[in-house]
Structure 1
Amino acid sequence: MSEPIDAARGEPTGSAAGPDLTVHDPDPGLYNDDLAPLPRQKRSWGTFEIFNVWTNDIQSLFGYTLAATLFIAYGLNGWAVFGGIILAGVIVMFLCDLVGRPSVRYGIPYAVMARASMGVHGTQFPTLIRGITATFWYGAQTYFASTAVALLITALFGPGPEGTFLGLSAVGWISYVIVAVLQVALFTKGMAWIGTFLNWAGPAVYVVMIALAGVIWYMAGGELFSALGTVFAGDGDYPGGTLAAFSAVVGTMVAYFAAVVVNYGDFSRFVRSEKAMRRGNLWGLPVSLAVFSFLTLIITAGSSVLYGEALTNPADIVERVDNIWLTVVAALTFLIATVGINLVANFIPPAYGLANLWPAKISARTGGLITGAVGFAIGGLWVAFIDGIGIAAFVDTLGAVLAPLYGIIVADHYLLRRGRLNLNDLYSASPDGEYHYTKGWNLRALFAFCLASVFSVTAVWLPALDQWSGFVWIFGALLGGALHYAITRTAGKKAVKA
């Protein structure tokens, strides 16, 4: 006998298997195959795939440089830096467990999940901002990945002809086109191919890093331990003292993952169970961060012994070593690591965001091709124009705008709706739909979103908050959630009294 269906919620009453994922009569302006709930039988990701989402996010050129810089820039004892990095991983793990759970349960991407709190049309504004932010960084990271290919081509065949066009040499342009085509090809193969790439890339980068750490250790000899002692000693000269320095380490690492946290549902919807997602987050965040940071520390300390200065960019270390095989292996590793994070953090969000804008005409595949084209132009102009006009501050500001959206989504789902969704109404444009609000826009949520975003953006640009800049995202998320909860509850009480 089949279990009765709760018509208001679209869920089997008393079922332990989870909600019914069938959508009846969806509006074509809100639905396509990419935005539809993903049936459980089509989900192939487990703990290992989620683990590799995070390892690829960590293992980019920027991620390595960031981890190395934390050990030498804040004047803290190295063990305190380790503690701060692991604590940041625990915080991000907790945030992702919260926002990822409904996407696992209902099989929906971030853009659809946001409809519950922002309205079926109101979700377009924040998802578009997320897509713009990701597209800018996609172009930039594509350029950075191409420098690894250029390093490889130069090592094998020489520097090529002289002269540049828009700041790039002939080898630079060839490398850039290779990386751009590779990324689009991976995406158009679908999430299964992306998952396979991440599963292979994450462990491969770790193997190379362990090998590089071993080589550096061998070359540095016993002096490595004295260098580690120096790093672990700390000089305590960070403005504001030890607590401010520790908070800066934690906040910086949290901010590094903030963009992926917002749209984490785009990945968790492919996971077979919540248990697998939580395990993947545990192993991929605090555990993987600890291992990666330790390897980074050994390599950085060894570079200070071998070259007289602590090098925080792995490309600089490779340039100092005159070994063609090391150059080839390192270049391929840098390419894999950077392409991995680009797919995770910067390609998938705008692809789904564009699909959400016009589902009847734009699929996630088409959205990805648009992202690739716009990102190609951005990356191609990076050296000549964009890098010099302060685009990083602009993109950071867009990221700060998004922080309250996380808080609103979580507060709405867990505090106001008690963890339940009306799946059919997420795809309905009917005025009677639960998430239609005012012509498809939840004006109360948008008001909370705008107020909290003003705070987040102001904090990014306010010099007095520089020491706490890493926590701006968390503060913005907390404020957005609190405002949304308070405004909605107050409006509900007034409606009851009326």
Structure 2
Amino acid sequence: MSNDTTAAGPAGPAAAPDTAPPDGPDLAVRDPDPGLYNEDLAPLPRAKRSWGAFEIFNVWTNDIQSLFGYTLAATLFISSGLNGWAVFAGIVLSGLIVMVLCDLVGRPSVKYGVPYAVLARASMGVRGTQFPTLIRGVTAMFWYGAQTYFASTAVALLITALFGPGPEGTFLGLSAVGWTAYIVVAVFQLALFGKGMSWIGTFLNWAGPAVYAVMGALMAAIWVMAGGDLLSELGTVFAGSGEPEGGTVAAFSAVVGTMTAYFAAVVVNYGDFSRFVRTERSMRIGNLLGLPVSLAVFSFLTLVITAGTSVLYGEALTNPADIVDRVDNVWLTVVAALTFFVATVGINLVANFVPPAYGLANLMPSRISARTGGVITAAVGFVIGALWVAFIEDVGISAFVDTLGAVLAPLYGIIVADLYLIRRGRLNLDALYSAAPDGEYHYSKGWNTRAMAAFLLASVFSVTALWTPALTDWSGFTWLVGALLGGALHVLFMRARRTPAPAARS
């Protein structure tokens, strides 16, 4: 990702008025501090934004269409104990919740053109923002490496189907085909990332619809093979299996909480994507279509395919790779492998590459660009993915990164509460890039100690709740509660500090 990533592709048509005048606020920063500013972190002028509702729709579509996302949705239908309508409603409700959260945190990035790392400076301080953005970056780096390995398994499946299994023997748990596939995926991703956000947007726009087309074809094929028995199996799923363990309310809440938590990481740094959108209206439409609507379509396809496998194979298969493994068809294997590859690279783009690229650039803007941050992310991720099978997968790394995610939850609440309840939706753009001691967001040596106190206290709660066995059924809501607590504590602590009115150009 190069320094010209702020352009996000060719300039689109003039934006219609929504929350700002047609040309938006004056986005040119006066006299920025070199330690807080580079071309990647600078406000993106509206004339250089090319994303509309379709691009935002595909950000979420690619986030939904991962192998894990498919397995999660299928498992909820099969094992939650609820009837299919309740599970379906819970999944759609989670999409509505995430949509509202993203509409709130995405709006200032549309208005001012700033990424998440810069937006967080208003509440955390121009230096204090480095701590939470670094945590977000570290979390993403781990998952970037893991998802790179998962994507390589799809490529390995493709190579094996076309050319055979290759030489025997393994190194660090990977065969020769496995290593070949892993290197191919790593190089492909790095090359794509190096082209900048315009190419990323193009890939997402192509990948999202393509995966849905393949899923639709797979559903149709399974429906034809299963015949009338499929409708009977669907009726069984929608009828449910009686009263779920723990009660209907708890089971429904678990579905909503689990699906909401699935999107939590992207919600925090959603501004990294919304800043490329021409208008707030486009962002809202994209969020609506990409979250509750796309989730409804994805869940329906997942349900039908899962029910079909139950008819065809005598058991409900929730892992797409297991479905392909049961079908002895080379071309189906090839198409499915390419689909898995595209879907996994898509979520890696959205959730695991952009956050650390911008987060690392925020640490030392005068020395680290988003391109450099991306290279660092790819290098660290390559090591993690290469060691995944041999070491990391067995040491409980998922619990580690889930804990880091819980730590980040209060940051969302602090950013949103600070913006809407304290600053009434207005920011001083110049002050976001100023290290002057009298700057509005300088606080104490660049750190807002009140916000940090709220962040640390709420994070302790989030992590404790995550690791408390008695709260396991409600663990999906840990993120939401942590965000609410962080926001509430921030407002409470900031009431003692008189916040100056933003400058006129905000």
The reply to whether TM is greater than 0.5 is yes
1:109 aligns with 2:115: yes
Per-residue CA deviations over 1:434-466 (Å, capped at 9, x if unaligned) read 000000000000000000000000011000100
1:329 aligns with 2:350: no
Please tell me whether the aligned partners of residues 160 and 171 of structure 1 are also in contact (alpha carbons under 8 angstroms). Answer: yes
User: For 1:281, which of 261, 283, 287 is the aligned residue?
Assistant: 287
1:185 aligns with 2:191: yes
Number of the residue aligned with 1:298? 304
Q: Distance in 2 between the 1:50 and 1:358 partners?
A: 29
Number of the residue aligned with 1:42? 48
User: For 2:466, which of 460, 471, 474 is the aligned residue?
Assistant: 460
One-letter identity of the residue aligned with 1:271: V
Number of the residue aligned with 2:178? 172
SS of equivalent residue, structure 1 residue 490: coil
TM-score of the aligned structures, taking structure 2 as reference length: 0.94
Deviation at 1:116, TM superposition (A): 0.2
Deviation at 1:240, TM superposition (A): 1.6
SS of equivalent residue, structure 2 residue 495: helix
User: For 2:256, which of 245, 250, 257 is the aligned residue?
Assistant: 250
1:225 aligns with 2:231: yes
Number of the residue aligned with 1:145? 151
User: For 2:421, which of 395, 402, 415 is the aligned residue?
Assistant: 415
Q: Moved runs in structure 1, 4+ residues, more than 2 A?
A: 14-18, 236-239, 490-493
Q: Distance in 1 between the 2:206 and 2:427 partners?
A: 36
Q: Distance in 2 between the 1:220 and 1:157 partners?
A: 31
TM-score of the aligned structures, taking structure 1 as reference length: 0.95
Q: Distance in 2 between the 1:120 and 1:239 partners?
A: 48
User: For 2:276, which of 259, 270, 277 is the aligned residue?
Assistant: 270
Please tell me whether the aligned partners of residues 74 and 237 of structure 1 are also in contact (alpha carbons under 8 angstroms). Answer: no
Deviation at 1:164, TM superposition (A): 0.3
Q: Distance in 1 between the 2:356 and 2:212 partners?
A: 28
Number of the residue aligned with 1:9? none
One-letter identity of the residue aligned with 1:319: D
Give the gaps of 5 or more residues in structure 1.
1-13, 494-498
Deviation at 1:97, TM superposition (A): 0.2
Q: Distance in 1 between the 2:440 and 2:498 partners?
A: 14
Please tell me whether the aligned partners of residues 146 and 175 of structure 1 are also in contact (alpha carbons under 8 angstroms). Answer: yes
Question: Percent identical across equivalent pairs?
Answer: 81
Number of the residue aligned with 1:128? 134
1:472 aligns with 2:506: no
Deviation at 1:236, TM superposition (A): 3.6
Q: Distance in 1 between the 2:399 and 2:327 partners?
A: 34
Deviation at 1:237, TM superposition (A): 4.7
Number of the residue aligned with 2:441? 435
SS of equivalent residue, structure 1 residue 212: helix
Number of the residue aligned with 1:119? 125
Number of the residue aligned with 2:431? 425
Q: Distance in 2 between the 1:268 and 1:236 partners?
A: 43
SS of equivalent residue, structure 1 residue 392: helix
Q: How many residues align?
A: 480
Deviation at 1:281, TM superposition (A): 0.2
One-letter identity of the residue aligned with 1:61: L
Number of the residue aligned with 2:453? 447
Q: Distance in 2 between the 1:483 and 1:236 partners?
A: 42
Number of the residue aligned with 1:94? 100
Please tell me whether the aligned partners of residues 23 and 46 of structure 2 are also in contact (alpha carbons under 8 angstroms). Answer: no
Deviation at 1:15, TM superposition (A): 5.0
Number of the residue aligned with 1:377? 383
Give the gaps of 5 or more residues in structure 2.
1-19, 500-506
Q: How does 1:392-411 map to 2 (within 5 A)?
A: 392-411=398-417
Q: Distance in 2 between the 1:240 and 1:300 partners?
A: 25
1:389 aligns with 2:404: no
Deviation at 1:230, TM superposition (A): 1.4
User: For 2:162, which of 132, 147, 156 is the aligned residue?
Assistant: 156
One-letter identity of the residue aligned with 1:476: G
One-letter identity of the residue aligned with 2:444: T
Per-residue CA deviations over 1:206-247 (Å, capped at 9, x if unaligned) read 000000000000000011011111111212453320000000
Number of the residue aligned with 1:235? 241
Q: Distance in 2 between the 1:397 and 1:280 partners?
A: 30
One-letter identity of the residue aligned with 2:61: T
